Amino acid sequence: MRQFNIGWQRCLLTIFAAWVALPAAANTMAHIKETQTITIAHRESSVPFSFVNDGKPVGYSVDLCMKIVDAIKKELKLPQLKVNTLLVNTSTRIPAIAEGKADLECGSTTNNAERRKQVAFTIPHFFATTRMVVRSDSGIKNWTDLKDKKVVTTKGTTTVKLLNDRDKARNLNVRLLEGADHAESFNMVENFQADAFAMDDVLLFGLRAKAKDPEKFSVVGEALSTEPYAIMFRKDDPAFKEFVDKEVSKLMNDGEVTRLYEKWFKKPIPPKATTLAMPMGFLLRDTIRFPTDKVAD
């Protein structure tokens, strides 16, 4: 009997230890309710999705996140819910979510299989294609024009592999450079340190719009890939994912996503009241009609 009791004690201790080891924020909604605080991660220069203007995070993705925050306030009956913000970059955004430093990442992050091993994503709110920005007088029109040129992309993004694959397939002898963030990568083209900056087209249009003289830069090249952008959150909380997916679907069905798209892609936006004038792509139009988090990898 003593051995039996000792065995049960050990079993219970093992179960208790496993329970204690669970991440404190595994139940995101309970954690938000307990702390009466939600933290959204944002970017500094991912125009028009997530960027800092007058010291505050703004953008298409930020607006979507704030709509989700409003739904959480209503669900938890916390109208005074405090919203904290956390500035992240391409290197820190995934750890910020995986380690529970932020509850939602409101940026320009691609949903792919490799990242889904660490985090979860909701329904895509944008589909970008990979192209490049160059100086308008460079003579570069497509990828084959990059032979023996210097091409920059941003550290930690999915574009690096695409460039390497294209370089090998076409034997371009491209010299690849990396910028710390999108702004630095664009500045390298602006300052003649690189001949081209390869990245998702919409980010390039946004950076071009912020330039001192936008007409000096052109977005060129056939699309190398399609990238679905989605809001990112913890992987170990399926209930929270279900809630966020339901809310994003509602925003799409109610026309709110379309209205926000019009606001950020077809109308003047800060800081210079420039207009991207980007029509909505067919993939996003289809997703709004039939919301799904399933993406092609």
Domain ranges of the chain: 24-125+230-289, 129-227
pLDDT of residue 171: 82
pLDDT of residue 237: 96
pLDDT of residue 12: 46
Token couple for 44: 């500094």
Q: What is the CATH number of domain 129-227?
A: 3.40.190.10
pLDDT tens per residue, range 230-279: 999 999 999 999 999 999 999 999 999 999 999 999 999 998 898 887 88
pLDDT at 214 over 90: no
pLDDT at 11 over 70: no
For the segment 289-293, the average pLDDT, to the nearest whole number, is 97
pTM: 0.74
Q: Which residue has the higher pLDDT, 115 or 157?
A: 115
pLDDT of residue 272: 83
pLDDT of residue 21: 35
- Which of the four pLDDT bands, split at 50, 70 and 90, describes residue 26? low
User: Does this chain's domain 24-125+230-289 share its CATH topology with 129-227?
Assistant: yes
pLDDT at 174 over 80: yes
pLDDT at 72 over 90: yes
**Record: fold of 24-125+230-289:** D-Maltodextrin-Binding Protein; domain 2 (3.40.190)
Express as a percent the part of the chain with pLDDT over 90: 70
For the segment 48-71, the average pLDDT, to the nearest whole number, is 97
Token couple for 267: 């109308």
Express as a percent the part of the chain with pLDDT over 70: 91
pLDDT of residue 4: 41
For the segment 48-69, the average pLDDT, to the nearest whole number, is 97
